[in-house]
Amino acid sequence: MFSNKKFQKAKEIPDENLETDYICPDGDMQYRIHSKNDTYTVSCINHIWRCTCEDYMYAKEKHLGSYFCKHIIKAIIYTFLKEK
């Protein structure tokens, strides 16, 4: 799970920093999220969310599939919770 603080950080990432690479009908998807110094790739493949940032890389060993960095949270908000 993730903390409120991380959720807030995810909400602070502007939508225009997010680029959709693809969204497949079966639910697999990939995004790129640009930050000041880097671009991270966020993907959801076979229901497992992954990110290329250090935060995720550090935690994934223990929590594969259940760790959400702020980029992943941003992608989820953008995809599923965005107010249209």
Closer to Zn ion by CB, 27 or 35: give it: 35
53: alpha, beta or left? (left if phi > 0; alpha if psi -120 to 50): beta
Q: For Zn ion, which is the closer residue by CB, 28 or 55?
A: 55
| Footprint on this chain of Zn ion (rule: CB under 5 A) | 51, 53, 56, 69, 71
Q: Count the helix, strand and coil residues of the chain and give each as a percent rounded to the nearest 5.
A: 40, 25, 30
Residue 14 or 25: which CB sits closer to Zn ion? 14
CB of 81 to Zn ion, least distance (A): 18
